[in-house]
Amino acid sequence: MARPSQLFRNLNAKVASIPMILTALVVFVGGTIWTIVYSFTNSRLLPRLNFVGLDQYERLWSTPRWIISIENLLIYGSLSLIFSMVIGFLLAALLDQKIRFEDTFRTIFLYPFALSFIVTGLVWQWLLNPDFGLQGIVRSWGWESFAFDPLYNQDIVIYGILIAGLWQGTGLVMCLMLAGLRGIDEDVWKAARVDGIPMWKTYVFIVIPMMRPVFVTALVIVASGIVRVYDLVVAQTGGGPGIASEVPAKYVINMMFEAQNLGQGFAASTMMLVTIAIILVPWAYLEFGGRNRRG
Amino acid sequence: MRYKLLATALALSAALPFTVSAGATDLEVTHWWTSGGEAAAVAEFAKAFDATGNKWVDGAIAGGGPTARTVFISRITGGDPMGATQFNHGRQAEELVEAGLMRDLTDIAESEGWKNIINPPSLLEGCTLDGKIYCVPINIHSWQWLWLSNKAFEDAGVPVPKNWEEFVAAGPKLREAGKIPLALGGQPWQAAGAFQVLMVSLAGPEVFNKVHGDKDAELAAGPEVKMVFDAAADAREMARGSNVQDWNQATNLVITGQAGGQIMGDWAQGEFQVAGQVAGKDYTCLPGLGVHDVIATGGDAFYFPVLKDPAQTEAQGALASLMLKPEVQVAFNLKKGSLPVRGDVDLATANDCMKKGLEILAAGKVVPSVEQLLSQDSVTQINDLMTEFFNGDMDPADAQKRYAAIIASAD
C-alpha cells in the first residue's frame, strides 16, 4: 500500500496558508512577470502588447538621468548602511552605560522615526536652506564666509539627503541594537572584566559577534528602506538641483505617469529588481544556504 | 518653502464657501491651482457651481502640474475617477480619451454652440478627437512673458529694459546692486518653459513650429537654434543664486524687487495682482521677450471622467456648461491673469498686460503650445535636459546636440 501522500500531511496548516500563497503568487510573482513582459513593449499611458525588443533598455541606459539615479542610489545606499549601523551601535553602547535619564534620551533619538519621510524631507529642506537654515544662522553669528548649502550644490546634494535619512532612521537601529545589548548575559561582561579585557575589546570581539542576528535584522530593515527611497527626495529636493539627486524609484514613477511611458518605467523597475537580485541572491545563499551544513 | 503652498491650500479650503443644500450632488474637482492668485480664481468656479445647487468638493494638489497629473492619471486608470479634472489641453489626456475613460461632451457642446463662441478655434480642436469633444477649454495661458521689477532696475540705476538683449546687458549691473538678475524656480518644467520662450521669441514662430511640429531635427541642430542655446546660457548665468523651488516663490522675488525679472507664463500676473502691484508702475511685462510679439495658445481645460452615478453625471454637465458662461469666464480669468476663451466677453477691467495679450491674440499672432505638438514623453525628456542644463555647467553645444536627438526620436 502506498504511503499517504506528502501533500496531505498537516492539511490544516496548508489550507490555512493557501490565501497567502495565492497572494504571493498572483500579486508578487504574477505582477513581476507582467511588468517584465511589458517592459519589452512600447506601451505609453496604457499597457499594449506591441513588442519592440530591447529598445526601452537601450534608451534607459543611454539616459543620463537614469545613470545619475543609479550612482546616487549606490552612494546613498552604502553610506546610509554604514553610518546608520555605526552611529546606531555607538548610541546604543553609550545608552547602555547605565546613564541617567536613559528613557529621555531613547525617546529623543527614536522620535524622528515617528515622522514620515515627507515631513523629514520638509524639515531638512528648511534646515539646509542657505538663507533661513544652518548657513544663515552661522552667518548671523558673524562668520560671514560660512558656506553649507548641500541642497543647492549639485556635487553634494545627495549628502544633504543622506543627513536627513540618517536623522530619521538611526534611532530605530539604535533601539534594535540596544535590545541586542540588553540580551547579552551579564556574566559575559563579568568574565571579561575578571580577565582584565578592556571594554572596547569586549565590545568588538565578544559582544558584536554575539549580536549577529540583531545586525542582520537591522541590515535588512535599513537596506529595504534604501532601495525604495523616494518620498524623502521628492519632499526635500524634488530631484534637484537639476537632476543631481534623482533616484531610481522616482525615475520609474515619473516615466509611468508624468512622461506617460509605461514601457520605459517598467524597464527601469525591472532593472531595479535585477540590481536587488544581484545583491540579495548571493547574500541569501551565504546566510541561509550555509545553515544546513553547519547543522 | 513648501510651507507657503500648504498655507495657501489651507486658506483655500477655508475660503471656499461650502453651501450644503438638500439634494446637492457632490462633485470632486481636482486641479493644481494652489498659489494665492490661482486659489482666488478657482474659488470663482466653486462659488458659481455651488450656486447651481451642487457642491464643489475641492481636490487641489500641491507641487505643480507634473506632480498633480501623476495623481490624476493613476486615479483615473486605477478605477477611482474624480468628477472633473484639470489638464493642459493637447496631448496630456490623449490616451485616456482613446481608452474611453473620458466622457464625450459633444451633445453639450452642440446644444450650446461652443464652436461659435470659443476663440481661437485651435482651443476646441485640442479637445477634439475623431470629431468628438472631450474637454472644456477654460482659459488661454501663454508662456511668452518676461516680468520685470521696476524697483530692482531703479535700485541698480539702469532703465527698465525693453527687450531681451537690453535685459541681458543689464545683468551685471543688477548683480552689483545685490539682485538676482533672473529669478528661476528649481522645478524642471520652469527651466524647460523658459527655454521654449527663448526659442519662440528669439528664433521666431516659424523655427518653433518646424522643430516641434514637423520634428525637424536638422533645424534643431542648426545655427538658428544655436543662438537660442547661447541665450539660454546667458539666462543660466543670470539665474544663479535663485535658490527657490516653486514658480510663485520666484515671482515673489520679482515682486519684492530682489530679482530683476522672471520668464514665466501669464499666470504670474495673478501673483502681482494679489500683491497689489500695478502693471506699468510697479512691474513691466514684455510679451515675446520684446522681440517677437507672439503668444502660445496653450491653456487649461477640464476633462470629465466617465462616471456610473447618473446624478453625478448630470452635475458634470452642469459644471461643463457653467465654465463657459460669460460672467464666470470674466470672473475666473481676471483673478487668474489668463485670457478668456470667448472673444465676446467684456474685459474692460483688464490691466495693461492682459490688454497687450488680448491685442496679440486679436491680431492672430499665435503659436500652438509645446504640449499640443509633442507627446508627454518627449516633453519630459526636454524638461530633464533643460533642468540639467540650467542647474549645471553643460556646454550649450552639447545640450543642443542632445536636444536635436530628442527631436529626432520625438513623436
Q: Are residues B259 and B374 in the same domain?
A: yes
How distant is the Cα of B162 from the closest Cα of chain A, in angstroms? 30
**pLDDT at A292 (0 to 100):** 54
Q: How confident is the model at residue B13 (pLDDT cuts 50, 70, 90)?
A: very low
Residue A242 has its nearest CB partner, among B99, B381, B387, at B387
Which chain A residue has its CA at the smallest distance from B376's CA?
A: A259
Residue B243 has its nearest CB partner, among A152, A154, A244, at A152
**Who has greater pLDDT, B12 or B107?**
B107
Cell numbers representing residue A129 in the block: 536652506
pLDDT at A176 exceeding the cut of 70: yes
**pLDDT at B12 (0 to 100):** 45
CA atoms of A45 and A54, how far apart (whole Å) = 19
Q: How confident is the model at residue A150 (pLDDT cuts 50, 70, 90)?
A: confident
Residue B362 included in any domain: no
Q: Which helix or strand (DSSP H or E) is residue A185 part of? A: none
Q: Are residues B284 and B309 in the same domain?
A: no
Q: Are residues B286 and B191 in the same domain?
A: yes
Put simply, the answer to whether B188 touches A239 (Cβ < 8 Å) is yes
Residue B66 has its nearest CB partner, among A63, A152, A258, at A258
Q: How confident is the model at residue B185 (pLDDT cuts 50, 70, 90)?
A: confident
Q: Which helix or strand (DSSP H or E) is residue A147 part of? A: none
**pLDDT at A101 (0 to 100):** 87
Residue B350 included in any domain: no
What average pLDDT does the segment B131-145 reach? 89
Burial class (CB in 10 A: 0-12, 13-18, 19+), B123: buried
Q: How confident is the model at residue A167 (pLDDT cuts 50, 70, 90)?
A: very high
Q: Are residues B292 and B306 in the same domain?
A: no
pLDDT at A270 exceeding the cut of 90: yes
Q: What is the DSSP string of B292-358?
A: S--EE-B-EEEE-B--S-HHHHHHHHHHHHHTTSHHHHHHHHHHHT-B-SBTTS--TT--HHHHHHH
Over pLDDT 90: what percentage of chain A?
33
Residues of B in contact with A241 (CB under 8 A): 186, 391
**pLDDT at A294 (0 to 100):** 47
Residue B225 included in any domain: yes
Put simply, the answer to whether A240 touches B95 (Cβ < 8 Å) is no
* Mean pLDDT for chain B overall: 85
Q: Are residues B168 and B286 in the same domain?
A: yes
pLDDT at B4 exceeding the cut of 60: no
Residues of B in contact with A153 (CB under 8 A): none
Residue B41 included in any domain: yes
Count of A-B CB contacts under 8 Å: 86
Q: How confident is the model at residue A251 (pLDDT cuts 50, 70, 90)?
A: very high
Residue B353 included in any domain: no
Contact B264, B250 (CB under 8 A): yes
Which chain A residue has its CA at the smallest distance from B382's CA?
A: A259
Q: How confident is the model at residue A57 (pLDDT cuts 50, 70, 90)?
A: very high
Put simply, the answer to whether B186 touches A243 (Cβ < 8 Å) is no
pLDDT at B273 exceeding the cut of 60: yes
CA atoms of B348 and B178, how far apart (whole Å) = 39
**pLDDT at B30 (0 to 100):** 92
Residues of B in contact with A131 (CB under 8 A): 243
Residues of A in contact with B188 (CB under 8 A): 239-240, 243
Number of domains in chain B: 2
Put simply, the answer to whether B77 touches A46 (Cβ < 8 Å) is yes
**pLDDT at B232 (0 to 100):** 93
pLDDT at B335 exceeding the cut of 60: yes
Q: How confident is the model at residue B260 (pLDDT cuts 50, 70, 90)?
A: very high
Q: Is the dihedral of CA A281, A282, A285, A286 positive or negative?
A: negative
**pLDDT at A290 (0 to 100):** 58
β-bridge pairing B180-183 and B259-263: parallel
List residues in chain B touching A: CB distance below 8 A.
1-3, 66, 69-70, 73-74, 77, 92, 94-96, 99, 186-188, 243, 245, 375-377, 379-381, 384, 387-392
pLDDT digits (tens, 9 = 90+) for A69-107: 999 999 999 999 999 999 999 999 999 888 888 889 888
**Among B101, B246, B377, which would you mutate to test the A interface (most chain A Cβ atoms within 10 Å of its Cβ)?**
B377
Q: Are residues B155 and B275 in the same domain?
A: yes
Over pLDDT 70: what percentage of chain A?
96
CB atoms within 10 A of CB B77: 19
Contact A191, A202 (CB under 8 A): no
pLDDT digits (tens, 9 = 90+) for B372-381: 888 888 988 9
Contact B127, B121 (CB under 8 A): no
pLDDT at B347 exceeding the cut of 60: yes
pLDDT at B63 exceeding the cut of 80: no
What average pLDDT does the segment A194-207 reach? 89
Q: Are residues B166 and B262 in the same domain?
A: yes
Q: Are residues B26 and B55 in the same domain?
A: yes
CA atoms of B207 and A68, how far apart (whole Å) = 32
What average pLDDT does the segment A46-72 reach? 90
How distant is the Cα of A243 from the closest Cα of chain B, in angstroms? 6
Q: How confident is the model at residue B181 (pLDDT cuts 50, 70, 90)?
A: very high
Q: Are residues B197 and B91 in the same domain?
A: no
Put simply, the answer to whether B376 touches A259 (Cβ < 8 Å) is yes
pLDDT at A266 exceeding the cut of 90: yes
CB atoms within 10 A of CB A281: 10
Helix, strand counts (H, E) of chain B: 21, 13
**Among B384, B394, B398, which would you mutate to test the A interface (most chain A Cβ atoms within 10 Å of its Cβ)?**
B384
Contact A126, A133 (CB under 8 A): yes
Which chain B residue has its CA at the smallest distance from A151's CA?
A: B243
**pLDDT at B11 (0 to 100):** 47
**pLDDT at A4 (0 to 100):** 61
What average pLDDT does the segment B294-303 reach? 86
CATH number at B225 reads 3.40.190.10
Q: How confident is the model at residue B281 (pLDDT cuts 50, 70, 90)?
A: confident
Q: How confident is the model at residue B233 (pLDDT cuts 50, 70, 90)?
A: very high
Residues of A in contact with B389 (CB under 8 A): 242
Residues of B in contact with A259 (CB under 8 A): 376-377, 379-381
Over pLDDT 70: what percentage of chain B?
94
Residue B122 included in any domain: yes
**pLDDT at A3 (0 to 100):** 61
- Domain A63-294 fold is MetI-like fold (1.10.3720)
**Among A260, A261, A266, which would you mutate to test the B interface (most chain B Cβ atoms within 10 Å of its Cβ)?**
A260
Which chain B residue has its CA at the smallest distance from A132's CA?
A: B1
Residue A130 has its nearest CB partner, among B73, B243, B384, at B243
Which chain A residue has its CA at the smallest distance from B72's CA?
A: A257
Residue A45 has its nearest CB partner, among B73, B243, B384, at B73
In three-state secondary structure terms, B91 is: coil
* Mean pLDDT for chain A overall: 87
**pLDDT at A133 (0 to 100):** 85
Residues of B in contact with A254 (CB under 8 A): 66, 70, 380
Put simply, the answer to whether B187 touches A126 (Cβ < 8 Å) is no
Q: Are residues B168 and B231 in the same domain?
A: yes
Q: Are residues B128 and B207 in the same domain?
A: no
How distant is the Cα of B80 from the closest Cα of chain A, in angstroms? 15
Residue B352 included in any domain: no
Q: How confident is the model at residue B402 (pLDDT cuts 50, 70, 90)?
A: very high
**Among B75, B95, B240, which would you mutate to test the A interface (most chain A Cβ atoms within 10 Å of its Cβ)?**
B95
Contact B245, B391 (CB under 8 A): no
What average pLDDT does the segment A147-161 reach? 87
Enclosing domain of residue B282: 145-296+367-409
Residue A242 has its nearest CB partner, among B1, B243, B391, at B391
**Who has greater pLDDT, A124 or B371?**
A124
CA atoms of A71 and B47, how far apart (whole Å) = 50
Over pLDDT 90: what percentage of chain B?
28
Residue A154 has its nearest CB partner, among B70, B94, B391, at B391
What average pLDDT does the segment B243-267 reach? 89
Cell numbers representing residue A292 in the block: 544546513
**From A3-7, A74-78, B105-109, B225-229, the region with the lowest mean pLDDT:** A3-7
What average pLDDT does the segment B139-167 reach? 90
Q: Are residues B153 and B292 in the same domain?
A: yes
pLDDT at A207 exceeding the cut of 60: yes
What average pLDDT does the segment B152-161 reach? 91
List residues in chain A touching B: CB distance below 8 A.
44-46, 63-65, 122, 125-126, 129-131, 149, 152, 154, 235, 238-244, 253-255, 257-261, 264
Residue B380 has its nearest CB partner, among A130, A239, A259, at A259
